[in-house]
Amino acid sequence: MSDEQISQFVIQSEIDNQKFTVDKKVIFSSVLLKNICDITDIREPIMVKCPGDSLKTFISLINHYQTPFDQENDDKFEKSLYCSLNKNELINLIQDLCVLDSDFFLDSIADYILKIIGEDEMDWNDIQYYLELENDFTENERILIDKNEKLEYFLSLDTENFTFPFFNKNLYSLKSAFSTPLNVLMARIIQRSSARTSYLLSLINKTIKNEVDRYPFKLSRFSADEYSCHLIYSPHAKLHFYEFSSLEITCNIFFIQLFVIQQVSATCTINVDAYCASYTCPWLKHIKTACPEDFERDCKAQTESIKFINSKNSYDLKYVSIKDYVKYISGCSDAEAQGISYMLEKSVAFYNKTEGNVETDYCFEGGKACGDSATETIAKPPGSGSSEQNSALKLIGILAFGWMLLSAAWIQ
């Protein structure tokens, strides 16, 4: 008789002989149970080397869901299922149920641990203490991570002091309070963590840093001024790098380029020439560098400007709309023919020229005025002048033109 013809199965603990009648849903939620059914006379109880109370918890978890394979977790239920356990009891449950080899249980317990970390607003020291992980950084390395080379460490950029990935640091040999065979649970915790928690985990030790780097950070918003660089990965995750203050240092500009490049639309192909437009509008908090086609999505409320730009050659256009508060410049042919540096200089000149100086709509297409309705009338206010600081700040929004290929490789 095959297991397809049987709707009920009996699981029995080898530890205390507790028996449980379950359906196929429970069997298929465990690699071990499914494999035993394939090789065992399933008219007899399925013997499992796991305490009955732990099996009962697992069965309760699976039975709560109509189908656990493609359904979102019920956080409230799962919290109530585990919260009565103290830390040692939770560890014992995890170690007992690892024998079942259940992805659904591992995801569930990893999310529960991550919620403990998040709800208690733990810093990296608290997480280290809770998970009982080793801090294997020297005192000098810790100072570099916290201060002098914070961004380099965050981005895993090699320096004289650090080379990534760290040599001979393997997750399989990592020791923690929640150790499991091959450390599958710790891997799951890192993989499913928020950007904030993932970053904090990476500060604990070198092994976890290596594992965190397998799941790169995804930047949701970036802004910068002359004082600090702000990286926002989720509504509740904000990292400040206040020592990152000068745009005059080449390596600092390189960092900004790496951050800004992640803001471009996925609709662009990953090549230098695709990112040949920059623009700003009321919806954007800074100058955006992207494909010409992305303007319509990012500035969708500016319907008149969208219509006007689409009626022109959007790949070779300078445009300012007073009514819509829009500035747009593209130079795709310039980028292709003369290189990114030329396009970068052209963009900087455009924003410097039009900053606070435009009296009426401004449009040039292919180097020539668009028509009578759009003129190149620029009025210079009394006492106006460009400062090096303002020019540097305006540069932030269009830095994605440089280092594109290297940045694309880093993101992958």
Q: Are 253 and 399 in contact (CB under 8 A)?
A: yes
Residue pair 205/134 in contact (Cβ under 8 Å)? The answer is: yes
Q: Mean pLDDT of all residues in the chain?
A: 76
Residue-range domains of the chain with CATH: 3-119 (3.30.710.10), 132-167+181-212 (no CATH), 250-411 (no CATH)
Q: Which residues pair with 329 in a beta bridge?
A: 278, 318
Residue 284 CB-density burial (10 A; 0-12 exposed, 13-18 middle, 19+ buried): middle
The answer to whether the CB of 365 falls within 8 A of the CB of 375 is no
Q: Which of 57-66, 148-157, 184-193, 265-274 has the lowest mean pLDDT?
A: 265-274
DSSP helix/strand/coil, 230: strand
Rounded distance between C-alpha atoms, residue 13 and residue 55, angstroms: 8
Q: Give the pair of three-digit tokens for residue 62.
A: 């699976």
CA atoms within 13 A on the CB side of 311: 11
Confidence of residue 136 (pLDDT cuts 50, 70, 90): very high
Task: Return all residues near 293 (Cβ < 8 A) that are at least 6 apart.
Answer: 265, 267, 314
Distance between first and last Cα of the chain: 50
Question: Does position 408 have pLDDT exceeding 50, yes or no?
Answer: no
- Is the CB of residue 27 less than 8 Å from the CB of residue 48? no
Predicted confidence at residue 72, as pLDDT, reads 76
CA-CA distance, 137 to 303, in Å (whole number)?
54
User: How many CB atoms sit inside 10 A of residue 289's CB?
Assistant: 25
Asked whether the bond before 165 is cis by omega within 30 degrees of 0, the reply is: yes
The reported pLDDT for the residue numbered 294 is 79
Nearest to 307 by CA among 290, 322, 332, 324: 324
**pLDDT given at position 387:** 39
Contacts 24+ apart (CB under 8 A), 68-73: 68/25, 68/29, 68/104, 69/28, 69/29, 69/104, 73/107, 73/108, 73/111
> What interhelical angle do 75-82 and 52-63 show, nearest 10?
170
Query: Which pLDDT value is given to residue 228?
Result: 52
Structure tokens at 141: 């390395």
- Is the pLDDT reported for residue 96 higher than 80? yes
Lowest mean pLDDT among 130-144, 306-320, 383-397: 383-397
Of the two residues 68 and 164, the one the predictor is more confident about is 164
Give the C-alpha separation, 244 to 252, whole Å: 7
**CA dist 341 → 218, 344, 366, 369 (Å):** 27, 5, 19, 24
Place of tokens 């309705």: 373
135 has a pLDDT exceeding 90: yes
Strand order from edge to edge, sheet including 19-22: 19-22, 9-13, 46-48
